A and B are shown apart, each in its own frame.
Chain A
C-alpha cells in the first residue's frame, strides 16, 4: 500500500542508511535470557557505596 501523500517530497529525518545493531537483534531474540551475564550486568549498574573508578 502506498504511503500517505504527506510523506512525499519532504526532507527525511533519517539521514543515512541504518546499520544493523546486533544488540537490538539479540535483545528481541526469543528464548531464555543469558542468566549469568544478566546477573553480572545488573551488578555493574547497581549503585555501590564508595565505588571507585580507578
Chain B
C-alpha cells in the first residue's frame, strides 16, 4: 500500500518513537527487525518513515536514510514502501532529546489496526478531541498512591 492510495477517511492514527542507543550500549541481534516485520506483516501497522540519527559529542546531528544502511535484510521491503514524511527541518527537533554521542532510530507508523474504528467514529459524527498515552509510571504512581491512602486511612 502506498500513501497516495489511502483515503484520508481511512487513514489510521500516525505515531512516532525515537529510540536512543547510548554510545557502546547497542546490541543489535535482529530481534527488533523481526518484531517490526511481524507488525507489518500482520497488518497492525504500516511503516511510513524511518531515519537514523547520530549526535556527536559536540551536539552535531547527522541523519541517515534507511536506504543508505548496508544489508537491510528484512527491512528491504519496508524501506521500499517508505513515504518520506519527515522533512529535513524535523531532524533537529527529533534529535533534541538525544544525548551527545548516541545513535537513535526514528520510526513513524500508521496504526492500521485503529483505522476502521476511527472511520466508524467519524461516520457516526464523532470528532477526536484528545488522545495520548498513559505512561506505565503513571499507573504505578496511581496504585502506590491508592495503597498509601489505604494504609493511612485517608
Is A21 a contact of B97 with CB atoms below 8 Å? yes
Give the interface of A toward B (CB within 8 A).
Answer: 1, 3-4, 6-28, 30, 37, 40-41, 44-45
Closest to A34 in B: B140
Is B143 a contact of A40 with CB atoms below 8 Å? yes
Interface of chain A, main secondary structure: loop
Task: Select B93's contact among A8, A16, A25, A40, beta carbons within 8 Å.
Answer: A16
Please list 28 pairs of residues, one from A and one from B, whose beta carbons are closer than 8 Å in the complex, sorted by A's number. Answer: A3-B63, A3-B65, A3-B88, A7-B88, A8-B88, A10-B87, A11-B89, A12-B86, A12-B89, A12-B90, A13-B85, A14-B90, A15-B93, A17-B93, A18-B94, A18-B96, A18-B97, A19-B97, A20-B97, A23-B135, A24-B19, A27-B136, A28-B19, A40-B140, A40-B143, A41-B139, A44-B143, A45-B139
Besides A18-B94, A23-B137, 18 new A-B residue pairs in contact (Cβ under 8 A), listed by A number: A3-B51, A3-B65, A4-B65, A6-B84, A7-B84, A7-B87, A9-B88, A12-B86, A13-B90, A14-B86, A18-B96, A21-B97, A24-B17, A24-B19, A27-B136, A41-B136, A44-B142, A45-B139
Residue of B64, B86, B135, B136 most packed against chain A (CB within 10 A): B136
Contacts of A26 in B (CB 8 A): 137
Interface of chain B, main secondary structure: mixed
Contacts of B18 in A (CB 8 A): 18, 24
Give the interface of B toward A (CB within 8 A).
Answer: 16-20, 27, 51, 63-65, 68, 84-97, 135-137, 139-140, 142-143
